[in-house]
Structure 1
Amino acid sequence: MGLVAEFAIHCPALPLTEIAAAVPGADVVVELQYNHGRRPLFVTHVTHDDPAPVEAAFDSSEFVAEYVLVGRAGETRRYQIEPALSLAETLGDALEDLDGLRALATAEASIDRIQVTPEGWIQSGWFADRAAFDDFRAFWQAEAGFTLRRLTRDGDPEPPGEGLTDRQQEALRTAYEMGYFEIPRTASLEAVAAELDISASSLSERLRRAQTQIIETSVASTWPPLPD
């Protein structure tokens, strides 16, 4: 049986970390879209109340050749980014074993989600077996830095709240501690947003996404299907 892993790679030279650094209030999540042997496209979801600083960061990034806004839902915008550089070219000055990096491209693994931070990437995905995961972990431990956040067998149920981003966890925790979820409320949405130094609309969307994720990983998975 395969493994499901979530882990952080501590390497600021990874692509798009400069976007997360330039717009510290944004959630930046990437899916790689492989493109028939060409450099994979970076399908990038950015949640922020103002697209201007995000797109300015794209414009100034050496990694981004072109980007196109392909969709929007609330404050989340979906961009398709064409890289100007390969991953090996981007990391050439940061890593010593570039052959090892290229070998990871053929590993028996599938990375389905990448959260970009100023310090590196938080990835989650599937690995065929423990050996495939250990090869991946050993490379990043040797070349940069690696922190395992979660490792389970494929098919094991996830605890409620798994899959929340760091900013979603921070928003939920702050709102809870300030009394936003109390009945009656002892803190307003605006007060919690001010504590987090984000807009009230950004906080509202962040809380909704976090609550949806918790529902999907807890009670929703046990409900019977709705009748036709």
Structure 2
Amino acid sequence: MGQAEHPSGMGLVAEFEIDCEALPLVSVAKAVPETQLDLKIQYNHGNWPLFVAYVTGGRPDEIERAFESAAFVADYTLVGQAGDTRQYQTVPATSLAGTLGDAIDDLDGLRALATTDALIKRIEATPTGWIQAGWFADREAFDAFREFWQANAGFTLRRLTRDGEPEAPGEGLTDRQQEALRTAYEMGYFEIPRTASLEAVASELGITASSLSERLRRAQTHVIETTVASTWPPLPD
């Protein structure tokens, strides 16, 4: 939500949890909790936009059964696959009021968030709601989101920094990524030589080895990007 241009070095960067099971595709995340479900919104499609879901891990038949049983989803299409991540485009079955009307009284307030000077860069559906991360032009723009969700559902702030400030190592990792890194480290996966295999760590976490591999790669990439990557000299032409 929010269409503001993101000027470098200004504003706030925040990550927060919204506790609302009525949000789109939360029921899918609840049905297949071993997966990671990242969302992107495609606007300009009627009362509800299209949602693109990036599903990492899990069995395809279970994932698609969860889409079929979700009241929010009228239709879904597998549009791509990369490694253990499957990309689906979902078409909403109901309007904004039909989806959230029983859970949120202030739908006009929710619509108003779309005009806030904010840019939501990441949405993850969880079994209890959404995790959102994004940029906010100022404290007033961030407070509009915080106050709305505090009043209408549940809100937990995970991170709030000034735009341009370096993140502490590990900031911005999802709970599943943190768990995967911690478990792999504690079991000796990163030891030289390794004292635990990828399969052993995956078994401890209750996921497939391919799901764990994808999760570790995402986590390691994020840690590199937020620590040493920004200090590297540019590559020569």
TM-score range, shorter chain: over 0.9
The percent identity for this pair of structures is: 74
Task: Give yes or no for contact 1:88–1:102 (8 Å, CA) kept in 2.
Answer: no
Q: 1:213 and 1:112 mapped to 2: Cα distance?
A: 14
Worse overlay, 200-209 or 134-143: 200-209
Query: What corresponds to 2:13 in structure 1?
Result: 4
1:74-223 matched pairs, under 5 angstroms: 74-223=83-232
Task: Give yes or no for contact 1:178–1:186 (8 Å, CA) kept in 2.
Answer: yes
Q: 1:158 and 1:142 mapped to 2: Cα distance?
A: 29
SS of alignment partner, residue 143 of structure 2 = helix
Task: Give yes or no for contact 2:198–2:212 (8 Å, CA) kept in 1.
Answer: yes
Change (3 A) 1:37 1:224: farther
Query: What corresponds to 1:41 in structure 2?
Result: 50
Q: 2:50 and 2:119 mapped to 1: Cα distance?
A: 16
Worse overlay, 34-43 or 114-123: 34-43
TM-score, normalised relative to structure 2: 0.91
Q: Unmatched 5+ residue regions in structure 2?
A: 1-9
SS of alignment partner, residue 208 of structure 1 = helix
- CA offsets 1:193-216 (integer angstroms, 9 cap, x no match): 111011112112211121111112
Query: What corresponds to 1:24 in structure 2?
Result: 33
TM-score, normalised relative to structure 1: 0.94
Q: 1:52 and 1:185 mapped to 2: Cα distance?
A: 34
Aligned length, in residue pairs? 228
Q: 2:180 and 2:161 mapped to 1: Cα distance?
A: 26
Change (3 A) 1:206 1:51: same
1:225 equivalenced with 2:227 (yes/no): no
Q: 1:62 and 1:11 mapped to 2: Cα distance?
A: 15
Q: Unmatched 5+ residue regions in structure 1?
A: none
Letter in 1 for 2:118: A
Task: Give yes or no for contact 2:79–2:87 (8 Å, CA) kept in 1.
Answer: yes
- Displacement of 1:158: 2.1
After superposition, the CA RMSD in angstroms is 1.5
